[in-house]
Amino acid sequence: MPDRPVPGVPRDEGTTLTEVLAAYSDAGFAGSFTVTDDAELACNACQHVSAPGDVLMTSMRRLEGASDPDDMLAIVALTCPNCGARGTTTLGFGPAATGEDGDVLRGLRDQRGAEDLPAHSAPGETVGDLPAT
């Protein structure tokens, strides 16, 4: 019996982190953010550090390793509240995630659907609840 997609469950067969980041870059999210040791987000364009709740999350794409469940990543498209730069950060989720990544993921202002992204800017876009951390 062929493997059928399960509604609501992301599939990442044949999709790489590089492909997802390139799609976001093409959609205008070319910058990047870094998670600090204090579970905040640093904009790499202006160096401003923000609490996760101050940063807008426009889109999220999950990748889950088929052969290694520890390869659970959330690629998040963000907008800096200080300079307006748009970029991404990659956060771990699940049992192998750092505490900082989990805190950031839980604290983000979820604005998915509030902004129009170009078609296919987030292949396999994850909607609904954030992944468990």
Q: Do the bridges between strand 31-35 and strand 72-79 make them parallel or antiparallel, or are there none, so unpaired? A: unpaired
Quick check: is 126 in a domain? no
Question: What residue numbers bound the domain in which 45 lies?
Answer: 17-110
What is the count of structural domains for the chain? 1
pLDDT, residue 3, reads 44
Do 74 and 62 form a contact (C-beta atoms < 8 A)? yes
Read off the tokens for 68.
């290694």
Q: Is residue 123 part of a domain?
A: no
Q: Is residue 115 part of a domain?
A: no
Which pTM value belongs to this model? 0.75
Cβ atoms 37, 63 nearer than 8 A:
no
How many Cβ atoms are within 10 Å of 52's Cβ, its own excluded? Answer: 18
2 belongs to a structural domain: no
- Evaluate whether residue 92 is within a structural domain: yes
The more confident residue out of 86 and 11 is 86
Give a yes or no: residue 33 inside a domain.
yes
Cα separation, 23 vs 82, in Å, equals 24
Cβ distance 121 to 115 under 8 Å?
no
Residue 61 counted as domain residue: yes
Query: Model confidence over 87-129: pLDDT tens digits?
Result: 999 998 878 788 999 999 999 988 776 655 544 455 455 544 5
Kindly state the tokens that stand for 20. 């997802």
Q: Taking phi first (over 0 means left), then psi (-120 to 50 degrees means alpha), and beta for anything else, what does residue 62 get?
A: beta
- In-domain check, residue 57: yes
Question: What is the structure's pLDDT at 72?
Answer: 84
* Number of Cβ within a 10 Å radius of residue 86: 22
> What are the pLDDT digits (tens) for 19-77?
889 989 988 999 999 999 999 999 999 999 999 999 989 888 888 766 555 678 889 99
